[in-house]
């Protein structure tokens, strides 16, 4: 299965999580809550309360609970949104930049994905026991997106051809283990620079 098809199927699952009949204002509230929650989880981590998210979105906590009865409901939708956005970015960046630049920019965006994921870690652990498709999508989408970028860069002789997609993905995922300190984003971006230096062909 081509990873673009995998992405389309994953997006369909996300759409199916949303109520099919929502008034325009209710849909705007729901979309705003998802957007604010993603930013809150990335910036504040586990400290981002549902009350804080509702307040930042400009709605009451009752509105949030009508759309997302539990924190895990909200986390699942946000996680799928971030995952699908990162996967889709591989296509967007490939059309905009040279293959090696597209690869590096995608890996830099991976830092934001990790930041949001870290902020949802407790709820994701709960979901992991009850929603296998969520994490199957994660593995397939990220592997496919990164693999397509690596392949294009290697075909043009811009990076080494002996790198396995999963090896690079595991190296990227190690960012998750960096201590959650004030400088963790800077450290993450520096590590990606080092990874790119290792991937590039040095003549």
The more confidently predicted of residues 181 and 166 is 166
136: pLDDT strictly greater than 80: no
pLDDT in tens, 25-68: 889 999 999 999 999 998 888 789 999 999 999 999 999 999 99
In percent, the amount of the chain with pLDDT more than 90 equals 56
pLDDT of residue 92: 94
What does the DSSP assignment read for the chain?
--HHHHHHHHHHHHHHHS-S---HHHHHHHHHHHHHHHHHHHHHGGG--HHHHHHHHTS-HHHHHHH-SSHHHHHHHHHHHHHHHHHHHHHHHHHHS-HHHHHHHHHHHHHHHHHHHHHTHHHHHHHHTT-HHHHHHHHHHHHHHHHHHHHHHHHTTSB-SS--HHHHHHHHHGGGGS---TTHHHHHHHHHHHHHHHHB---
As given in the structure block, the two tokens for residue 148 are: 């397509």
Band (77; pLDDT cuts 50, 70, 90)? very high
Q: Rounded to whole angstroms, how far apart are CA atoms 124 and 131?
A: 10
Looking at the predicted structure, is the pLDDT value of residue 148 above 50?
A: yes
Contact 91, 152 (CB under 8 A): no
45 Rama sector, left if φ>0, alpha if ψ -120 to 50, beta otherwise: left
Q: In terms of pTM, does the model score above 0.95? A: no
The DSSP bridge partners found for residue 159 are: 200
Q: Does residue 2 or residue 74 have the better pLDDT?
A: 74
- Of the pLDDT bands very low, low, confident and very high (cuts 50, 70, 90), residue 180 is confident
What burial class does residue 181 get, using C-beta atoms within 10 Å of its C-beta: 0-12 exposed, 13-18 middle, 19+ buried? exposed
User: pLDDT digits over 79-133, tens only?
Assistant: 989 998 999 999 999 999 999 999 999 999 999 899 888 888 888 888 888 765 7
């Amino acid at each position: 299965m081509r990873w673009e098809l995998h992405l389309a199927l994953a997006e369909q699952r996300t759409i199916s999580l949303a109520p099919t009949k929502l008034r325009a204002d209710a849909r705007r509230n729901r979309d705003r809550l998802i957007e604010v929650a993603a930013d809150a989880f990335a910036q504040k981590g586990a400290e981002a309360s549902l009350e804080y998210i509702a307040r930042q979105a400009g709605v009451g906590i009752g509105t949030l609970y009508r759309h997302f009865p539990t924190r895990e409901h909200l986390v699942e939708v946000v996680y799928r949104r971030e995952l699908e956005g990162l996967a889709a970015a591989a296509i967007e960046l490939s059309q905009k930049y040279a293959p090696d630049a597209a690869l590096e920019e995608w890996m830099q965006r991976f830092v934001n994905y990790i930041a949001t994921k870290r902020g949802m870690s407790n709820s994701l652990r709960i979901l992991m026991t009850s929603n296998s498709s969520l994490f199957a999508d994660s593995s397939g989408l990220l592997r496919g997106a990164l693999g397509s970028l690596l392949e294009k860069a290697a075909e043009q002789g811009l990076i080494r051809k002996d790198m396995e997609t999963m090896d690079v993905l595991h190296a990227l995922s190690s960012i998750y283990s960096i201590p959650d300190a004030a400088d963790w984003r800077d450290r993450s971006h520096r590590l990606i620079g080092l990874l790119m230096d290792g991937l590039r062909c040095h003549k």
